[in-house]
Amino acid sequence: MLRCVEPTNLCAPWKRNYFHGSRRKLPRPLSRTDHPPSSPSLRNCHHLEMKKQTHMRKNVWLLLFLLVVAGGKAIAQVQKTIDQQVSGHLAGKLLDAKTSQPVEMASIALLRADSTLLTGMYSAADGSFKFNNVPLGKMILRVNFVGYKTLFKTISLSKATATVDMGAVKLESNVKSLAAVTVIAEKPTFTMAIDKRVFNVDKNLASVGGTATDVLKQVPSVNVDIDGNVTVRNGAPTIMIDGRPTTLTLDQIPADAIQSIEVVTNPSAKYDAEGMSGILNIILKKDKKNGVNGQVRGGITSLGSYNGGVDFNMRRGKINWFVNYNVRNRRGSSKDEINRTNLGPDSLSYLKQNNDGHIRRLFQYARAGMDFFLDEHNTFSISGSVVKGNFDNYYNQRLMESDSLHTPLRYGSGINNSQDGFTNYTGEFNYKHTFIKEGEELSANVQYNRANSHDHNQYSLAYVNPDGTPSWDPHLPELRHGDGSGNTTYFTAQVDYVNPFSSRNKLEAGLRTNRRVFNNNLYTYGLDPISNEYGIDTALSNDYHYTETINAGYVSFTGGTRGNFGYQAGLRAEQSNYNGELMNIKAGTYKVDYPISLFPSVFLSQKLKGDNEFQLNYSRRIRRPWFLDLVPNISYGGQSASRGNPLLKPEFTNAFEFSYLKDFQGKANLLVSMYYRNTNNAITTFYQDTTLNINGSDQHVLLSYPINANSRNSFGAEFTLRNQITKWWDITTNANLAHTQIDASNSGANLSNSGITWFGKVNSNTKLPWNLTLQVSANYNSKEIQPQGERKPIYTADMGLKKDFLKNNAASVSIGLNDIFNTNRDLTYTYTEYQEQDRYRKQATRELRVNFSWRFGKIDTEKKDKGRDNRHGGGDDGGGYGN
Predicted confidence band of residue 19 (pLDDT cuts 50, 70, 90): very low
- Kindly report the three-state secondary structure assignment for every residue of 488-511: EEEEEEEEEEEEECCCCCEEEEEE
The pLDDT value recorded for residue 584 is 64
Please state the domain extents for the chain: 40-103+106-144+147-180, 291-872
Residue 855 predicted with pLDDT over 70: yes
54-58, 79-83, 584-588, 726-730: range with highest mean pLDDT = 726-730
Residues 503-528, mean pLDDT to the nearest whole number: 90
Residue 882 predicted with pLDDT over 70: no
Predicted confidence band of residue 874 (pLDDT cuts 50, 70, 90): very low
Asked whether the beta carbons of 237 and 219 are under 8 A apart, the reply is no
Distance CA 619, CA 602 (A): 7
Higher pLDDT, 648 or 64: 648
Asked whether the beta carbons of 780 and 759 are under 8 A apart, the reply is yes
Asked whether the beta carbons of 840 and 825 are under 8 A apart, the reply is yes
Residue 26 predicted with pLDDT over 60: no
Residue 4 predicted with pLDDT over 60: no
Residue 236 predicted with pLDDT over 60: yes
Asked whether the beta carbons of 106 and 78 are under 8 A apart, the reply is no
The pLDDT value recorded for residue 12 is 35
Length of the chain: 883
The pLDDT value recorded for residue 785 is 76
Residues 628-642, mean pLDDT to the nearest whole number: 72
Residue 570 predicted with pLDDT over 90: yes
Burial class of residue 298 in the structure, from the number of CB atoms within 10 Å of its CB (0-12 exposed, 13-18 middle, 19+ buried): middle
Residues 101-125, mean pLDDT to the nearest whole number: 81
Residue 760 predicted with pLDDT over 80: yes
Cα-based distances in Å from 398 to 298, 462, 467, 641, 702: 39, 10, 16, 16, 17
Q: Which parts of 650-793 are beta strand (E)?
A: 651-663, 668-680, 683-694, 697-708, 711-726, 729-743, 752-768, 772-781, 784-786, 789-791
**pLDDT digit string, tens, across residues 683-726:** 888 888 787 776 666 777 778 889 988 889 999 999 999 898 98
Q: CB neighbours of 473 closer than 8 A, spacing ≥ 6?
A: none
- List the beta bridge partners of residue 860: none
Distance CA 644, CA 649 (A): 12
pLDDT-above-70 percentage for the chain: 83
Do the two domains 40-103+106-144+147-180 and 291-872 of this chain adopt the same fold?
Answer: no
Q: Is 880 left (phi over 0), alpha (psi -120 to 50) or beta?
A: alpha
The pLDDT value recorded for residue 193 is 67
* Single-letter residue type at 117: L
Distance CA 223, CA 228 (A): 9
The pLDDT value recorded for residue 656 is 95
Q: CB neighbours of 490 closer than 8 A, spacing ≥ 6?
A: 245, 246, 247, 447, 448, 449, 450, 451, 514, 515, 516, 517
**pLDDT digit string, tens, across residues 403-432:** 999 999 999 999 999 999 999 999 999 999
Distance CA 748, CA 10 (A): 12
Burial class of residue 481 in the structure, from the number of CB atoms within 10 Å of its CB (0-12 exposed, 13-18 middle, 19+ buried): middle
Distance CA 451, CA 549 (A): 17
Cα-based distances in Å from 764 to 101, 260, 299, 819: 43, 18, 23, 16
Distance CA 329, CA 180 (A): 44
Residues 657-671, mean pLDDT to the nearest whole number: 87
| 228-242, 374-388, 563-577: least confidently modelled range | 228-242
Residues 324-349, mean pLDDT to the nearest whole number: 90
Helices then strands, each counted (H, E), the chain: 5, 46
Mean pLDDT of the chain: 80
Predicted confidence band of residue 748 (pLDDT cuts 50, 70, 90): low
Predicted confidence band of residue 23 (pLDDT cuts 50, 70, 90): very low
Residues 774-798, mean pLDDT to the nearest whole number: 88
Element (H, E) at 41: helix 40-86
Distance CA 605, CA 568 (A): 9
Asked whether the beta carbons of 560 and 547 are under 8 A apart, the reply is no
pLDDT-above-90 percentage for the chain: 37
The DSSP call for residue 437 is S
Higher pLDDT, 740 or 300: 300
Residue 39 predicted with pLDDT over 50: no
Predicted confidence band of residue 878 (pLDDT cuts 50, 70, 90): very low
Superfamily of domain 291-872: TonB-dependent receptor, beta-barrel domain (2.40.170.20)
Asked whether the beta carbons of 316 and 863 are under 8 A apart, the reply is yes
* CATH numeric code, 40-103+106-144+147-180: 2.60.40.10
Residues 268-294, mean pLDDT to the nearest whole number: 83
